[in-house]
Structure 1
C-alpha cells in the first residue's frame, strides 16, 4: 500500500446503532491506534452523526447506497443492492485501497459479500468465524471456530477450521504449541453424533493439527485448550451464552456491591480489580470475530455494538494486518497435506 499504517474500511451503516456509534468508535480508533479509516456509507448521515465536523478530519468517507437489513436474505439483498455499504467495503479491500473490513451489520451478508468479492483461499471449502474467548487463566484465551458462518458442516470443514485455528493461534496469538479440541458431549472418541466421530478421526490423523481430543462444554474456558472447533450452530450458541454469562457477572457485581458510603468506598478500593474483571468477561472488550478462510481480512462485530466495541473490532483488524495473518494462513496452509477424503 506504500504505507505502514493499516487502512481499515468500516461499514458505517451496519449495526443497530449505526452510524453514530460506528463513527464514534472509528474516530477513537484513528486517534489512539494510528490507523487510517475509510468510513463507508451515506455521507450526510455520517457527518450528521458527529456534533463537530472537525472530528472527521483525516477520515475518508466513501459513499455507498443502502445497507442489508437484518431481516433480508443475504445473497438476494447483496445482488439487489450492489452499492450497499458492505459490498463497497469489501470492494475497497479487493481494490487494495484498504487492508481490512470491519462491519457490525448483517453477519450473513458480511460473509456472503466476502465470498463474492474476495473469494476463498485455495484449499478452503468454507470460511469460519473465529472468536476469541477469555479463560479462567489470566492472560490466556481460547479461539472458537466456527461461531456462526456454517450451520451445517462436513467433517473435512471442521478439519480445515482446526488447521486455520492452529495457524492463527500460533502466529497471531503467540501460542507456541496450540492445543486443539473438538467440541463434543464426551471425552471418548466414540462419543457424539456422526459429524463429531468422523471429524475426530480426521483431526487425530492430521499431522499438522496438535489435536488433544474432545472438549466438553465445561472444558472450553478452563485454559486447557487454545483452539476449539465446532459447527457454526453449536459455536453460535456457545458464543451467545458466553456473552450472556459475562453480562450476568457484571450485573451481579453491580447488585452485590454495598450501597451508600460503604459502597462508594469499597468500589473505589476495588476499582482496578473491577476494571480487569470487565476487560476479561465483557464481550465489548473483544470487539468482534475474524472471518478466516477468505482472501482478505474481515472482522464481524456484534450487531448491538457501541463505540467501545467498534474501537476494539478495529483494533482486532489492525492486529490481523500487522501480524500478516492472511499471508501466514496462505503460506502455511499450502504446506499442509489435508488427508480428508473427497466427500467427507
Structure 2
C-alpha cells in the first residue's frame, strides 16, 4: 500500500500531546508513506511539534478541534455533546474515508460508544470487541485475547462471534492458518462454567470451519494452548490489567534485588543483557494497541497511561490492520456464512 493515512486523537490519554506527538513523529520517520492527521487543539499541537523540530513536517497535518473527551466522561455525553472533540473527529475521518484508521488513548467507553455510533458494525456482527495480542512462552507466537473491556456481559452468540472475528485477526495479522480458538473459563472440564459459556462452547465446537480446542484457565493464557482466547469484557479487562501489573511487579522486584549491595550489583551487570532481553519480551508497551474489531472501520485503542513508545506501537498496529484489510476480511467471512447471523 503506497499511501496510508491515519487519524490520531492527539488529546486522548493521561498525558495527551506530551505522549502522542512524539509517537506520531516516530511513526512518520519510520514510514515515509505514512501520513497522520493530528486531531486536537491546534495551539498545543503546534507547540509540541515546534519543541520536537517537526512543526512543518510534510507527513503531519493538524485538524483543529475545540473540545476533548476526559478520561471520566460518560460515553453518552461524549456522543451527544462532544461532536467537535479530537476523539470524535478522528473517528469521523475514518467514516468519511479521509483516514483509513484512527488511534486513540482516550476514554475507552467514549471511544467504543462513539465508534459504534458513527462507524456501525459489519452486517451480522452484534457487538464490536476489543482484541489485543499478548506474549506466550514461545517467543515466536502470540495469543489474541478478546473482549478486553468493550462489553461487560456477553451471551453465547456474542462469544461465538468474538471467536470467529478473533480467528480472522490471527489469520491476517499473524498469518496463522486454522487458529486454535479457546474460551477462558474457571476450569478445563466441560461441566464447569456458566450456561452461556457452555452454550458458546457448543456453538464453536459444532462449526467445522472453526478449530475450537476447548476451555483454558487463566494460568494458561500465556502457555500457547490457543491462538485466540475468548471471554467477556469484564473478565478480559481484569485479566489483562492483572497480567500487566504482575509483569511490572516482577521487573521492579528483580531490579530491587540487584541494587541491594555491591555483590548483587556486580552480578546484575553480568546478567543485565539476559534480563533486558527477558523483560523486553514481557514489556506490556510492545503489545499496546487493542483493536475494536467488528466495525466498518479500523479503530485502535492505546492504553491511557501509555508512553510515547507504547503509543507508537499502537500506531503501527493500525498500519498493520490497514495493510491486511482486516474489516474486509471479517466481512468476507460473513459473506461466506462462517459467522452466524443473529
TM-score by length of 1: 0.93
How far the C-alpha of 1:48 sits from its partner, in A, is: 1.9
1:36 aligns with 2:27: no
How big is each residue's C-alpha offset from its partner over 1:113-157, in whole Å with a ceiling of 9 and x where there is no partner?
Answer: 111111101110000000111111112111000010000111000
> Residue 12 of structure 2 corresponds to which residue in structure 1?
14
How far the C-alpha of 1:265 sits from its partner, in A, is: 5.5
How big is each residue's C-alpha offset from its partner over 1:128-187, in whole Å with a ceiling of 9 and x where there is no partner?
Answer: 000111111112111000010000111000000000011110121111221110011111
How big is each residue's C-alpha offset from its partner over 1:56-95, in whole Å with a ceiling of 9 and x where there is no partner?
Answer: 3121011112111122211222211111111100111111
State the distance in 2 between where 1:226 and 1:79 align.
38
State the distance in 1 between where 2:52 and 2:130 align.
35
Superposed counterparts of 1:296-315, under 5 Å: 296-315=297-316
Do the aligned residues in 2 keep the contact of 1:127 with 1:291 (CA within 8 Å)?
yes
1:248 aligns with 2:235: no
Q: Helix, strand or coil: the match of 1:29?
A: helix
Q: Helix, strand or coil: the match of 1:55?
A: coil
How big is each residue's C-alpha offset from its partner over 1:211-248, in whole Å with a ceiling of 9 and x where there is no partner?
Answer: 00011111111011110000000000011011111111
Do the aligned residues in 2 keep the contact of 1:20 with 1:46 (CA within 8 Å)?
no
> Residue 72 of structure 1 corresponds to which residue in structure 2?
73
State the distance in 2 between where 1:264 and 1:4 align.
50
How big is each residue's C-alpha offset from its partner over 1:20-62, in whole Å with a ceiling of 9 and x where there is no partner?
Answer: 1111111111111332111100010112234536313121011
How far the C-alpha of 1:319 sits from its partner, in A, is: 0.9
- Stretch of structure 1 that moved more, 107-116 or 121-130: 107-116
State the distance in 2 between where 1:235 and 1:70 align.
20
State the distance in 2 between where 1:53 and 1:131 align.
30
State the distance in 2 between where 1:229 and 1:12 align.
31
State the distance in 1 between where 2:276 and 2:2 align.
32
State the distance in 2 between where 1:263 and 1:50 align.
43
- Stretch of structure 1 that moved more, 256-265 or 67-76: 256-265
> Residue 95 of structure 1 corresponds to which residue in structure 2?
96
Superposed counterparts of 1:261-300, under 5 Å: 266-300=267-301
> Residue 46 of structure 1 corresponds to which residue in structure 2?
45
State the distance in 1 between where 2:273 and 2:89 align.
42
- Stretch of structure 1 that moved more, 62-71 or 259-268: 259-268
> Residue 326 of structure 2 corresponds to which residue in structure 1?
325
Do the aligned residues in 2 keep the contact of 1:164 with 1:333 (CA within 8 Å)?
no
1:145 aligns with 2:146: yes
> Residue 87 of structure 2 corresponds to which residue in structure 1?
86
Q: Helix, strand or coil: the match of 1:71?
A: coil
Poorly superposed stretches of 4+, deviation over 4 Å: 258-269
How far the C-alpha of 1:207 sits from its partner, in A, is: 2.1
**Could you list the runs of 5+ residues in structure 1 that have no partner in the other structure?**
none
Structure 1 residues 323 and 276: CA distance shift in structure 2, 3 A: farther
Structure 1 residues 43 and 266: CA distance shift in structure 2, 3 A: farther
Root mean square deviation, CA, Å: 1.8
TM-score by length of 2: 0.94
State the distance in 2 between where 1:313 and 1:200 align.
31
State the distance in 2 between where 1:61 and 1:108 align.
25
State the distance in 1 between where 2:313 and 2:276 align.
16
1:55 aligns with 2:54: yes
